[in-house]
Amino acid sequence: MALPDNFLWGGATAANQTEGGALAGGRGLANIDMMPCGPDRKKVAAGTMEMLEWQEDYYYPAKEAIDMYNHYMEDIQLFAEMGFKVYRMSLSWSRIFPNGDDEQPNEEGLAFYEAIFKELRKHGIEPLVTIAHFDVPLNLIKNYGSWRNRQLIDLYARYARTVLTRYKGLVNYWLTINEINILLHQPFVGGGIVFQEGENHEEVKYQAAHHQLVASALATQIAHEIDPKNQVGCMLAGGNNYPYTCRPEDYQEAINRDREGYFFIDVQARGKYPNYALKRFERENLNIVMTEEDLDILASAPVDFVSFSYYSSRTVSAHPEDYEHTTGNIFGTIKNPHLPSTEWGWQIDPLGLRNSLNQMYDRYQKPLFIVENGLGAVDVPDSEGFIDDEYRIDYIRQHIQAFKDAVEIDGIELLGYTTWGCVDLIAASTGQMSKRYGFIHVDRDDEGNGTMARTKKKSFYWYQQVIASNGEDLSSRNLPIPVKTAVE
């Protein structure tokens, strides 16, 4: 079993990390726009009302990002040159509904994305579109309390119906909410949640999660109603948990930590809450308001496929205080002594990707889609400006081989693979440009300086070869790299 001929090779980005144009074309502000580059980014990510205004002392990278708002035609041309079959991107909710509760959508925003989809189609690239990728209009945070408020279900559903109707025939693959389980770990990033004094944080997070799950099911229902050809997926921040030792309590802790993420996908893929989640709500006295109508909606619209991001596995213990921890994992993890780490402390585990694919396929028996995977690294150009990023090639090569093994040996049904940050973008965790993922270099630094010029890295030509061979040629020897590539 080789990869199918229609396997969807491509790359992935998010509007808030690439688009810029924060105040252009009638767009409103969103939660991610308020996150500065630098040490205070974590303070904002923790959710504080006083930080929901731009401060003069901060640099806000999402305001301009890499200016794909004005460079999208150039970027799509480069994606086409690499041979992309699919491009995963997101819509900015506040570009379509600037305040989130507007009576009418912003036509200029709708037209902007329509032009992108038509340009992608012109080059034979299938759009894979995330409806909400960490974007919540600022007005919905300030005046509604964001996803804690069940009114957001209807506001999101109206937004989803608007874009699903407008882009019928242009987009066939949709994701409802990006990395939905991030809501539990970074509530402001994942859901625009700002906690109020005296609140039970766990109850607020799981109530917000319930509203997101119902909204996701409504979007899936609407998508199928508008166009039966639509394929709708959920999206998990993936990576399985290893027990640090073979002590039974460590193994149990790994099961519990896996369930924190799978909880969301269990609901979206199966249409109902798993018993372990309901028992937790009962045990911890979490009063999660669910109506019978909510449960009927969840049951009526399971997703068509399961998508996920994968950067690293995680290692856990019932006694985490006994071990050294890594510095770069958003979920918090014990350092695995058997794995190397990136410059930002993420541990590299290609076999973990194969393990994750098997776990999820065994659990859901639905097609899977790897929609984020990549290496964040500092790229240093040579004397002529060329970036020889063999380290990135090596990382992605190992992960491609891992998912090929999952398909060819284990029989996993895999729709496609989109590398994260196919063009350099601002990092979600740090706001930095120096943490680069792309096959295409963007002349932009951590302070916002640079020309925005795009140039091809060595990995550009390697990925072009990988796609052309449908994953059969993973070698980086004898790549057809033009001598003057760095200054094209």
φ, ψ (nearest 5 deg) of residue 455: -135, 155
Q: Is 414 helix (H, G, I), strand (E, B) or coil?
A: strand
User: Which of 177, 188, 211 lies closest to 142, judged by CA?
Assistant: 188
Whether 138 contacts 94, CB under 8 Å: yes
Nearest CA to 261 out of 271, 244, 276 is that of 276
Q: Rounded to the nearest 10 degrees, how much is the dihedral formed by the CA atoms of 471, 477, 483, 488? A: 20
DSSP secondary structure letters along 260-281: HHHHHHHHHHHSS--HHHHHHH
Say whether 260 is catalytic.
Answer: no
Q: How far apart are CA 115 and CA 95, in angstroms?
A: 14
Q: Which of 180, 185, 91, 86 is nearest to 135 (CA)?
A: 91
- Phi/psi at 19 (nearest 5 deg)? -70, -50
Quote the tokens at residue 87.
Answer: 């491009």
Using alpha carbons, select from 78, 107, 105 the residue that is nearest to residue 13. 78
Query: What are the strands, taking DSSP E only, across 191-303?
Result: 231-237, 241-243
> Measured between alpha carbons, how far is 230 from 234 in angstroms, rounded to an integer?
13
Closest CA to 393 of 446, 327, 460, 339: 460
Among the listed residues 202, 324, 372, 408, the single catalytic one is 372
Residue 254 to residues 108, 152, 241, 312: CA-CA distances in angstroms?
Answer: 47, 33, 5, 15
d(CA 249, CA 252): 5
User: How many whole angstroms separate alpha carbon 258 and alpha carbon 278?
Assistant: 16
* 341-347: long-range contacts, CB 8 A cutoff, minimum separation 24: 342/375, 342/376, 342/377, 343/376, 343/377, 343/378, 343/435, 344/376, 344/429, 344/430, 344/435, 346/311, 346/312, 346/376, 347/312, 347/313
Which ranges of 390-435 would DSSP assign to H, the alpha helix? 390-408
Residue 463 main-chain phi, psi, to 5 deg: -65, -35
| The two structure tokens encoding residue 159 | 């937004």
The DSSP H or E segment spanning 176 is: strand 173-177
In the numeric block, the tokens 């099911």 are attached to 217
Residues catalogued as catalytic: 372
